């Protein structure tokens, strides 16, 4: 059979080969070489003649491959669905030759590389006979591809050759000439080779002569890579992040990752299409370079990683540092490593201050009230962190000192007094005491004590508070010292003595009056013939334990009135109220008269003798 080209696609018509005779009149003859090379995407035709014994009826005709252990009809194979067709004629039988003959053609459209296999034909008759030609037809599907040949003497240019895995069946020129295309436009140049500039933007393909519609895949340098991040969105510190670099290239590109330090060339490189961080740190922020490279060129693409994290390393720094004099100026700056930038809150002695969130805290014309401990707190949406504490020590001269005196009020001569001086100052003040119009009293210290004070030491006193910044005097403190004299002391003693004598005289007069009253009562009792021990009671009078002593004390008063001397006893009635079981006090002589009343009368005999002379 002659070769011919179909109107569409590549059609391979196979040459006849000797028939493979089977036993008892069975035979299959394939009409081509046992090895067939076809282009991917083309259509191939494989023909065969078959023979079987007369008086048999063919029940089944099929084509199959060696991909399966048992013959499987290609029409039932899912790999060929919609691409396989059988064109088999009616068999012709000859009684004279006692055999029947026929033809069958296998058509496979849209060849793929996986269609490369050995194909066989099989018939089955009503008598159970079957026959397959051995060996079958081996089909090789090839893909044209420009192959890169590097020229060591010319680093900027290389050579392409249109290669295939097998020699196409049918034309010898298939292996000698190729048509070349640049960006799908056919070039005038024809031949096995094509010159290509490295990093060129062109895409080059080739096709076998006569098969322009079946060009090879284009070869080209990598396109600008694209980088994807997983998971998408904001990158937070501590999460797992993967970067993937992709670039269209043929041949397939190889990838290299590197981090670009600021102002420096790329540093350490990592091979592979993916760059992973498990977990990612704030230090991983920066720009990374993805490089895609094949034999035709190289393309790079940068990608920036911005890792978000809460504040770290928060510090407060004063400017100028150190001690500050009152009236000066100081600025407190708060810094923190955070992404995004942190806002700041200022505190003085743990009390928040109203200030702009991102501005330094400035104290203009500082005063003593600005003295204290300052700190800041940095905060963003990912966290917050407090800073160190800075103590602002404001130096200032002593304020107006205050003076106090102990004890307060009038100061008596000979007493002791302490003056105290205090002043708000930084650093602490030293104190010196002065007396108005008297100069320094040679006393240093907060307290000044004067022992055994005299009137000469009275007057105005003040203190001076001084430190390295300045000095200040207190207001005057007046000490009023009262004098003490001997005349005032004697007057006081006379007054006390007179008061004592008056009390004694009043006491003596009262005793004499009581005694005379008792004497009259006794005389009246005798005149009436009665005794003092009758039940008639005299008016009660006070009882004195030591009558003799009182009598002696009133001797001087008794001189003024003559008293008749007598030895008669005087009975004094003493009324004692007691309960029924109460004992009578000891020391009383006499009889105890009981009555129905709770009141009992106790008589005591007392002898009184008038002294003959009472001394003045």
pLDDT in tens, 362-374: 988 998 889 899 9
Are 25 and 69 members of one domain?
A: yes
Are 35 and 114 members of one domain?
A: yes
Whether the pLDDT of residue 298 is over 50: the answer is yes
Q: Considering only 133-142, 196-205, 323-332, 518-527, which range has the smallest mean pLDDT?
A: 518-527
Are 258 and 292 members of one domain?
A: yes
Of 540, 555, 445, 548, residue with least CA distance to 509 = 555
Whole-number average pLDDT of the chain: 78
Are 235 and 352 members of one domain?
A: no
CB 421 within 8 A of CB 406: no
45 or 524, higher pLDDT: 45
DSSP class of residue 546 equals -
CATH code of residue 452: 2.60.40.10
The pLDDT, as a whole number, for residue 423 is 94
Q: What are the residues facing 259 on neighbouring strands?
A: 288
Whether the pLDDT of residue 542 is over 80: the answer is no
The pLDDT, as a whole number, for residue 462 is 92
CA distance linking residue 370 with residue 328, whole number of Å = 11
487, part of any domain: no
490, part of any domain: no
Among candidate residues 375, 395, 415, the one where a domain is terminated: 395
492, part of any domain: no
- Count of CB atoms within 10 A of residue 93's CB? 17
**Can you give the pTM of this predicted structure?**
0.54
Considering its fold, how many domains does the chain have in total?
6
Are 113 and 36 members of one domain?
A: yes
The pLDDT, as a whole number, for residue 583 is 41
Among candidate residues 107, 142, 177, the one where a domain is terminated: 142
Whether the pLDDT of residue 156 is over 80: the answer is yes
- Burial track 105-131 (b if 16+ CB lie within 10 A, e otherwise): bbebeebeeebbbebbbbbbbeeebeb
Task: Kindly report, residue by residue over 162-194, the tens digit of the pLDDT.
Answer: 887 787 765 444 445 688 889 888 887 777 788
318, part of any domain: yes
Among candidate residues 451, 482, 513, the one where a domain is terminated: 482
For residue 591, name the pLDDT band (cuts at 50, 70, 90): very low
The pLDDT, as a whole number, for residue 195 is 87
Are 122 and 154 members of one domain?
A: no
CB 10 within 8 A of CB 38: yes
Which two structure tokens, joined as six digits, stand for 23? 């036993």
CA distance linking residue 396 with residue 402, whole number of Å = 17
CA distance linking residue 561 with residue 455, whole number of Å = 56
The pLDDT, as a whole number, for residue 26 is 84
Q: Which of 148-152, 342-346, 351-355 shows the highest mean pLDDT? A: 342-346
4, part of any domain: no
Are 31 and 137 members of one domain?
A: yes
Q: Which of 136-150, 235-249, 599-613 shows the highest mean pLDDT? A: 235-249
Are 34 and 151 members of one domain?
A: no
275, part of any domain: yes
319, part of any domain: yes
For residue 486, name the pLDDT band (cuts at 50, 70, 90): very low
Helices (H), 357-400: none
Are 357 and 381 members of one domain?
A: yes
376, part of any domain: yes
Are 520 and 569 members of one domain?
A: yes
Are 52 and 130 members of one domain?
A: yes
Span 315-323, mean pLDDT? 90
Of 202, 208, 197, residue with least CA distance to 183 = 202
Tokens 């990374």 correspond to what residue? 288
For residue 437, name the pLDDT band (cuts at 50, 70, 90): confident
The pLDDT, as a whole number, for residue 170 is 55
194 or 229, higher pLDDT: 229
By residue count, the chain amounts to 616
Whether the pLDDT of residue 78 is over 60: the answer is yes
Span 237-266, mean pLDDT? 88
Enclosing domain of residue 503: 499-606
Are 434 and 376 members of one domain?
A: no
Q: Rounded to the nearest 5 degrees, what angle is found at the Cα of 57, between the Cα atoms of 55 and 62?
A: 140
């Amino acid at each position: 059979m002659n070769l011919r080209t179909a109107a569409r696609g590549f059609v391979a018509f196979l040459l006849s080969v000797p028939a493979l005779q089977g036993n008892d009149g069975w035979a299959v003859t394939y009409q081509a070489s046992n090895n067939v090379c076809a282009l991917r995407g083309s259509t191939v035709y494989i023909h065969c003649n078959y023979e079987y014994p007369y008086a048999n009826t063919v029940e089944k005709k099929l084509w199959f491959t060696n991909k399966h252990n048992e013959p499987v009809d290609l029409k039932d194979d899912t790999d060929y669905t919609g691409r396989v067709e059988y064109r088999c004629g009616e068999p012709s039988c000859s009684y004279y030759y006692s055999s029947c003959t026929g033809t069958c053609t296998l058509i496979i459209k849209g060849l793929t590389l996986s269609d490369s296999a050995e194909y066989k034909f099989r018939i089955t008759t009503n008598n159970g006979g079957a026959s397959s030609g051995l060996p079958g037809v081996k089909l090789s599907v090839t893909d044209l591809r420009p192959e890169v040949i590097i020229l060591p003497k010319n680093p900027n240019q290389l050579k392409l050759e249109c290669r295939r895995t097998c020699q196409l069946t049918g034309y010898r020129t298939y292996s000698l000439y190729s048509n070349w295309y640049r960006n799908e436009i056919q070039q005038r140049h024809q031949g096995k080779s094509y010159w290509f500039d490295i990093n060129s933007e062109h895409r080059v393909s080739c096709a076998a002569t006569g098969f322009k519609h079946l060009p090879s895949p284009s070869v080209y340098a990598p396109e600008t890579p694209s980088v994807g991040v997983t998971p998408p969105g904001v990158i937070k510190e501590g999460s797992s992040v993967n970067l993937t670099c992709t670039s269209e290239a043929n041949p397939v590109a190889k990838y290299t990752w590197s981090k670009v330090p600021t102002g420096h060339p790329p540093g350490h490189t990592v091979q592979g299409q993916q760059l992973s961080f498990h977990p990612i740190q704030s230090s991983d922020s920066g720009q990374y370079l993805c490089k895609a490279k094949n034999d035709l060129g190289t393309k790079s693409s940068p990608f920036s990683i911005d890792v978000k994290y809460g504040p770290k390393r928060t510090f407060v720094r004063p400017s100028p540092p150190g001690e500050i004099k009152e009236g000066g100026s100081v600025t407190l700056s708060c810094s923190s490593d955070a992404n995004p930038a942190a806002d700041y809150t200022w505190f003085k002695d743990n009390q928040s201050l109203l200030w702009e969130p991102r501005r330094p805290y400035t104290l203009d014309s500082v005063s003593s009230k600005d003295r204290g401990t300052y700190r800041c707190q940095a905060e963003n949406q990912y966290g917050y962190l407090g800073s160190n504490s800075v103590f602002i020590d404001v130096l200032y001269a002593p304020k107006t000192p205050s003076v106090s005196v102990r004890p307060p009020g009038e100061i008596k001569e000979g007493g002791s007094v302490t003056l105290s001086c205090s002043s708000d100052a930084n650093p602490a003040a030293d104190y010196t005491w002065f007396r108005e119009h008297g100069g320094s009293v040679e006393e240093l210290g907060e307290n000044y004590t004067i022992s055994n004070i005299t009137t000469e030491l009275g007057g105005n006193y003040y203190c001076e508070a001084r430190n390295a910044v300045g000095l200040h005097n207190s207001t005057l403190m007046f000490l009023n010292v009262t004098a003490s004299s001997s005349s005032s002391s004697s007057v006081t003693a006379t007054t006390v003595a007179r008061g004592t004598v008056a009390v004694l005289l009043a006491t003596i007069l009262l005793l004499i009056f009581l005694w005379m009253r008792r004497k009259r009562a006794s005389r009246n009792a005798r005149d009436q013939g009665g005794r003092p021990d009758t039940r008639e009671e005299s008016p009660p009078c006070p009882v004195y334990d030591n009558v003799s002593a009182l009598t002696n004390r009133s001797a001087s008063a008794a001189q003024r009135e003559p008293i008749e001397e007598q030895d008669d006893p005087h009975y004094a009635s003493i009324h004692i109220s007691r309960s029924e079981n109460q004992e009578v006090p000891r020391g009383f002589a006499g009889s105890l008269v009981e009555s129905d009343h709770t009141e009992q009368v106790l008589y005591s005999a007392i002898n009184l003798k008038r002294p003959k002379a009472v001394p003045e």
